[in-house]
Copies of this chain bind each other. A is one copy, B any other.
Amino acid sequence: MPTAPTSTTGPVAALDIGGTKIAGALVDTEGRILARAQRPTPAREAAETVFREVGAVLAALASSPSWDAVEAVGIGSAGPVDAARGTVSPVNVPGWRDFPLVEQVRERVGDRPVTLVGDGVAMTAAEHWLGAARGHADALGLVVSTGVGGGLVLGGRLHPGPTGNAGHIGHLSVDLDGDPCACGGRGCLERIASGPHIARHALDGGWRPGPGGDASAAAVAEAARAGHPAALAAFERAARALAAGIAATAHLVEVDIAVIGGGVAGAGEILFAPLRRALPDYATLSFTRGLTVVPAATGTDAGLLGAAAAARATR
């Protein structure tokens, strides 16, 4: 599954499906967006109601003059996904459990092939095609946000794994005896480094949100920039956990770059400086010495560009 688009010449249709919005685009071979559509996700509604919005996004794209040239459809979805079966069960869309998304989309796109990957895999595909991982044969992409997701490029190709979930770094245990995670595990990376857990850690340490009551990781990052010890400690801890997880990945599959996107990456050096300091404490073996960690470069369209890249990669 080469990430770089080679075998198609027309645009592809991309869908980026999350708990708050369903975005769609037609994307050309250079990564330019020719048409866009977007609807809010009715996340608490029944399966058909949620899918109706996907249908509306596809209908809007189909009204574009570029639609007839569309060669394939790529979907990046909040997980878990099951690419082998074409189903999705996004944690934050409870109405969709083993929902046959690929089959339903296929009914609306004619004979075009439909590819499904997890959102972390999609972001990684985007970064490998057009972003910070370009030119790297072996790369890890991370999305650090309300959760921690990820994806892998191995040997120059996107590596979604049999079910489209490979790179799921958020539920690596980096602390064998650590706190229970919502997934049922213990000491998961996500349990330490996600936005909500960074905020919780800062609150536990005595940080208090300002008068506006903003208790987000972005607010913690602002406090850390102002030197608040508990805010700094929360990012330090998240950075160490991320360093351990990234190093684990490098030891396991020899990636030489980790690209971090998602809201928490917006903290910039408040996150990246302690992460780069901690990395040599865990990436110890000679073959991991060149490992670098950088911010993602594809921005808010990463999900769409990644879904497009995944669609091209499977052709």
Residues of A in contact with B (beta carbons under 8 Å apart): 80, 82, 89, 137-138, 152, 154-155, 159, 161-163, 165-169, 171-178, 181, 183-187, 240-241, 244, 247-249, 251-254, 256, 280-282, 284-287
Contacts and interface: CB of A to CB of B under 8 A. Distances in A.
Interface of A is mostly: loop
4 closest cross-chain pairs (CB), A and B: A161-B254, A183-B284, A184-B284, A185-B284
A209 B168 CA distance: 43
Contacts of A163: 254, 287
What is the copy number of this chain in the assembly? 2
B252 A169 contact: yes
Given A161-B254, A163-B254, A173 B244 contact: yes
A136 B200 CA distance: 42
A186 B280 CA distance: 11
Nearest to A169: B252
Contacts of A171: 251, 284-285
Contact of A165 (B175, B181, B285): B285
Nearest to A161: B254
A167 B287 CA distance: 12
26 contacts: A80-B285, A80-B287, A82-B286, A82-B287, A89-B286, A161-B253, A161-B254, A161-B287, A162-B254, A162-B256, A162-B287, A163-B254, A165-B285, A165-B287, A166-B254, A168-B287, A172-B252, A173-B174, A173-B247, A175-B175, A175-B177, A176-B244, A184-B280, A185-B281, A186-B281, A252-B253
Nearest to A177: B175
